[in-house]
Amino acid sequence: MKEKPLAVGIDASTQGVKALALGPDGVEAVAAVNFGKDLPAFGAPEGFVPDADPAVRRAPPRMWEEGVALALRRLGGEVDLARTGALSGAAQQHGLVLSDAAGEPLGPLAPIWMDRSTGAECAALDARFGAALREKTGSAATERFTGPQARKAAREDPARWERTARVHCIASWLNSRLVEGGDAPVDPGSASGQNLMDLSSREWDPEIAAFTAPDLPAKLPRIVPSDAVSGRLAPAFASGGLRAGVPVVVWSGDNPDSLLGMGCAAPGEAVASLGTSDTFFASMDAPRTDPDGFGNVFCTSAGGYMSLSCFTNGALARDRVRREAGLDWEGFDAALAATAPWDGRRLFLPWFAPESVPRVPRAGTAANFDFGAAEPARRVRALVEGQVFAMKNHAAWIGGRFSRIGVTGGGSKCAGVLRILADVFQAPVERLEGTETVALGAAMRAWSHLTGEPLAALAARLCRPALRVEPDPAAAGVYAEALAAHAAFERSALAGRP
Ligand code: XUL
């Protein structure tokens, strides 16, 4: 190997793949592949093949595999990948890929995290295990998780199930394709997104697995720590200078590696990812679970635990209120600057679409004032505060105060949103310099394996904030009152719904 080693991190996400090269002085290059643009023959421009049933969301596993190979080739055009000493990756969490013993997928399509077609399977798991499922695995029965998906696959096509040697989530399947022998283990970050793993022992729960599908315990991959080597790079991926035989550190899920790549993997640190959905995830010292059953608990890829709550009404709600108020994004931000914290004691529940936290199966917003008739600036403030109040109230079970909140996603560009987050949480809010946090998290694990540099030291060196917003203590009182009022308003709104 030449003087300066490289670690490569891959982010296999819904709409494409990113590959990132991390050297001794930081990120050297990033290459991207977009499924719609670069691999149109798979017919999945948005990352899934359109289906007549909106609950069904499936994608071709071969597209992910080709996407990874292409991203590595492109990265090889930017840096000399012969310097690579270790590689790792993270994939969209959950999903289900059934494979034979050599890792070949059984069938052209596999369900992804957006699939919502396992309601009957989740009901069966709930009826059998009740609250114990959430307490053991960290999540109530969840439609997109590998366990319910496997139960459905076994029921729908018993012959294929019989032929299945391995039941993979997307991360462990891609990891299997990448290594010699085609049979990779899974890390606790991915395994905790399956409704199958016991969070405290970090082993598959034999009773839950056996109930979920016939012979499932024998078909699941081994669980290994997130810093373990899963195998050696297969010759098929050796291109752009990358050498076959390079160690592949076990793949993880995108959320655990994003927490790492955001530099927020120490207990008490959290991330608010303000994208299509708003996702709030926080690092925890112990596996506490959400008594309401809305949030998920995963293992982190840094050896700890993390909460994850997904608020469906994120960017689309902000965009809708902005448009209806006749504002551009500058005007949206100016509206927040022109109004005071909890101005007029207004409360708004932005359930324009069915919501996951709290669970709201049918769309329908609610307000304690005439939302549609209110001045644009008041609507904008009530919306953003309503979103952040829900985030804070539904984070109460995580325990303690947050020492820092990292922000990412389109919404984090809006200064007014960051101000409200800092003041409601009474915690400093930081926006990072880099954007490829998932690929960076995976590359950090590979680098740590290669050099022995601890993850915390790497985070301190690589995850620098571009902007930090300190909380205003003067807003603490009004927001404490607002949070209590929001919780009561939400309870009464939920009680009045079917
Ligand atoms: C988390 C989840 C999504 C996917 C996106 O539970 O389903 O965040 O991981 O790739």
CA 127 / ligand 1 centre spacing (Å) = 25
Which residues have CB under 6 Å of ligand 1?
13-14, 92-94, 113, 144, 254-255, 279, 296, 308
Helix residue ranges per DSSP H, 220-366: 254-261, 315-324, 329-338
- Whole-model pTM above 0.85? yes
Closest-lying ligand 1 atom to the alpha carbon of residue 91: 10
Residue identifier of the C-alpha nearest atom 7 of ligand 1: 113
Q: How far is the CA of 279 from the centre of ligand 1 (A)?
A: 9
Between CA 474 and CA 494 the distance in angstroms is: 31
Instruction: For 24-40, give one letter per residue: b (16+ CB within 10 A) or e.
Output: eeebbbbbbbebeebbe
Q: Which of 255, 281, 308 to mutate to test the pocket of ligand 1 (most atoms within 8 A of CB)?
A: 255
**Amino acid 497: pLDDT:** 79
C-alpha of residue 89 to centroid of ligand 1, in Å: 15
Strands 252-253 and 84-91: parallel
Q: State which ligand 1 atom lies nearest to the alpha carbon of 142.
A: 6
Among protein residues, the one with the nearest Cα to ligand 1's atom 6 is: 93
Which residue has the least CA distance to atom 9 on ligand 1? Answer: 93
DSSP 35-99: HHHH-GGGS-TTSSB--SSTT--EE-HHHHHHHHHHHHHHHHTTS-GGGEEEEEEEE-SS--EEE
Atom nearest to 94 CA in ligand 1: 7
Q: Which residue's alpha carbon is at the smallest distance from atom 5 of ligand 1?
A: 92
Distance 114 CA to ligand 1 centre (A): 8
Contact 76, 241 (CB under 8 A): yes
244 neighbors 233 (Cβ within 8 angstroms): yes
pLDDT at res. 496? 82
Ligand 1 atom nearest residue 255's Cα: 9
Q: Whose CA is nearest to atom 10 of ligand 1?
A: 92
Shortest-distance atom of ligand 1 to CA 279: 8
| C-alpha 281 – ligand 1 centre gap (Å) | 11
- Cα(93) to ligand 1 centroid in Å equals 5
- pLDDT averaged over 10-residue windows placed end to end, the chain, 498 residues: 85 96 97 97 95 95 98 97 98 96 96 94 97 96 96 98 98 98 97 97 98 98 98 94 97 95 93 91 92 94 94 93 96 98 97 92 94 97 98 93 92 96 98 89 98 96 94 98 98 88
Ligand 1 atom nearest the C-alpha of 277 is 8
Closest atom of ligand 1 to 93 CA is 9
Quick one: tokens of 229?
């080597």
Continuous segment of H or E residues that includes residue 200: none
Give me ligand 1 centre to Cα 308, in Å.
Answer: 9
Report CA dihedral (92, 93, 94, 99) to the nearest 10 degrees. Answer: 60
Tokens 């954007």 found at: 435
φ, ψ of residue 24 to 5 degrees: the values are -60, -30
CA 156–ligand 1 middle distance (angstroms): 25
C-alpha distances out from residue 88 to 22, 210, 324, 440, Å: 11, 31, 44, 10
